[in-house]
Amino acid sequence: MGGKQGFRAQYFTARNALEAGNYDVARRSYSRLIADAGPLAERLELEYAHSELRAGNFPEAARIAASLAARQSGAARGAALAVQGTAQHELGLAQLAEGKTEAGKASLVAAQAALGTVIEGHPELDPLGSMAGRHASIAARLARL
């Protein structure tokens, strides 16, 4: 299986693994696909960042998503910032739980900025208000630090 059909099969392997919670398979599959994805590379990078987020690899998810957001505009940038902000929020909470107050605070501030940009510029990406709720939770946590 080569060419378009091979790529398609590999993509569905990655996507199905992500949706099924098999994050190691998803991460490996996405990382292999990105180099050959052509115009789909940035979309696959976002899915790759999402797989890192879901796997609990928050620093890597934030790094990938931030890099992607820096190269994007419009709703694509908003989607990358949503993953970045979510990863930074989770990273900040983990850092605070480990007693790393300054690092945790810095991660929460970065998360608040990323999510605030999404909420303000692309409210259509938060139709149920979950990002707004996360943003408010971050603000409340920062106020207590």
DSSP letter assigned to residue 56:
T
pLDDT digits (tens, 9 = 90+) for 82-91: 999 999 999 9
pLDDT digits (tens, 9 = 90+) for 32-84: 899 888 999 999 999 999 999 999 999 999 999 999 999 999 999 999 999 99
DSSP letter assigned to residue 22:
-
Average pLDDT in the chain:
94
- What is residue 73's predicted lDDT score, i.e. its pLDDT? 96
| pLDDT class of 125 with cuts at 50, 70, 90 | very high
- What is residue 1's predicted lDDT score, i.e. its pLDDT? 44
CB 57 within 8 A of CB 103: no
Which range, of 29-33, 54-58, 136-140, averages the lowest pLDDT? Answer: 29-33
- What is residue 85's predicted lDDT score, i.e. its pLDDT? 99
DSSP letter assigned to residue 129:
S
Closest CA to 101 of 141, 64, 73: 141
The model's pTM = 0.91
What is the rounded CA–CA span in Å between residue 143 and residue 121? 24
Angle between helices 58-70 and 41-54 (to 10 degrees): 160
- What is residue 5's predicted lDDT score, i.e. its pLDDT? 75
